[in-house]
């Protein structure tokens, strides 16, 4: 097994559980701007990027596509609400083994990055209460591309600019959904599934996870 040189991590249900902070913040944003307390769970599914969530929920509750101006206002209100809500979310927690895994990988000389469907501002905000931002050198986000495979490719491009030449076998991408695994495969990296969200280890294996962990408490592959 090749030791990873770079490991990229998803955030929601991989490193942390926000206790519904994101959904509450989207709801608050739609309510403030349109008087409609939208439920993103009715219109989107796990692993979608923030731009996909915004557009699909907008279409679902308002029956039309948003303009770019409307999206800009929606993003702004979402981020403002999230910045407050994340600190008072009663069920916010770091998932088992997450911090210890990041420490071990760093000590092993692995370069750590983020690959998240969240917008960059939202991604970093979500990690703040857990003080996990300190582990990550770089990242790619839903604000880089609404397409998960494209943003994963963007993360790999950033990794190569920082590190130099990397083979596909040297870059691991950790996520909790089949979408994470499919995007990783499309980008040409090694998908590592972690069954810490709503999908089982069996479902992540079926999606194509090269390595699948029950949680980040298990030994990390290649380390």
- Structural domain boundaries in the chain: 6-18+92-213, 21-88
- CA 184 – CA 170 distance, rounded (Å): 13
**Mean pLDDT computed over 107-129:** 96
- CA 223 – CA 218 distance, rounded (Å): 11
Specify whether domain 6-18+92-213 bears CATH 3.40.50.2300.
Answer: no
pLDDT at 215 (0 to 100) = 97
Expressed in angstroms, the distance from the first to the final Cα of the chain is 9
Is residue 87 predicted with pLDDT exceeding 90?
yes
Instruction: Provide the residue count of the chain.
Output: 223
- CA 217 – CA 223 distance, rounded (Å): 13
Q: What is the pLDDT confidence band of residue 53, given thresholds at 50, 70 and 90?
A: confident
Query: Are the beta carbons of 94 and 11 closer than 8 angstroms?
Result: no
- pLDDT, tens digit, for every residue of 168-199? 899 999 999 999 999 999 999 999 999 999 99
**Which candidate, 36, 86, 93, places its Cα nearest to that of 61?**
36
pLDDT at 43 (0 to 100) = 67
**Mean pLDDT computed over 17-40:** 92
Query: Are the beta carbons of 215 and 96 closer than 8 angstroms?
Result: yes
**Which candidate, 174, 155, 169, places its Cα nearest to that of 15?**
174
pLDDT at 45 (0 to 100) = 60
Residue 194 corresponds to which tokens in the numbers above?
A: 């972690």
Query: Are the beta carbons of 76 and 97 closer than 8 angstroms?
Result: no
- pLDDT, tens digit, for every residue of 100-115? 999 999 999 999 999 9
- CA 130 – CA 108 distance, rounded (Å): 22
Instruction: Specify the CATH number of the domain 21-88.
Output: 1.10.150
**Mean pLDDT computed over 21-34:** 94
Is residue 1 predicted with pLDDT exceeding 80?
no
């Amino acid at each position: 097994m090749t030791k990873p040189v770079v490991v990229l991590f998803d955030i929601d249900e991989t490193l942390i559980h926000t206790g519904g902070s994101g959904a509450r913040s989207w709801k608050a944003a739609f309510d403030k701007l349109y008087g409609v307390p939208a439920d993103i769970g009715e219109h989107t599914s796990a692993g979608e990027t923030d731009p996909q969530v915004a557009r699909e929920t907008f279409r679902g509750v308002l029956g039309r596509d948003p303009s770019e101006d409307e999206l800009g206002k929606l993003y702004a209100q979402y981020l403002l609400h999230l910045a407050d809500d994340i600190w008072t979310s009663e069920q916010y927690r770091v998932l088992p083994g997450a911090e210890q895994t990041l420490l071990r990988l760093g000590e092993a000389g692995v370069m750590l990055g983020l690959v998240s469907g969240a917008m960059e501002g939202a991604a970093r905000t979500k990690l703040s209460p857990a003080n996990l931002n300190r582990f990550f050198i770089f990242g790619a986000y839903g604000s880089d591309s609404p397409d998960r495979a494209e943003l994963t490719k963007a993360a790999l491009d950033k990794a190569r600019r920082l590190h130099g030449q990397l083979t596909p076998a040297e870059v691991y991408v950790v996520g909790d959904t089949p979408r994470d695994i499919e995007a990783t495969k499309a980008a040409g990296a090694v998908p590592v599934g972690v069954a810490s969200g709503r999908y089982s280890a069996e479902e992540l294996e079926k999606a194509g996870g090269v390595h699948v962990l029950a949680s980040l408490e298990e030994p990390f592959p290649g380390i």
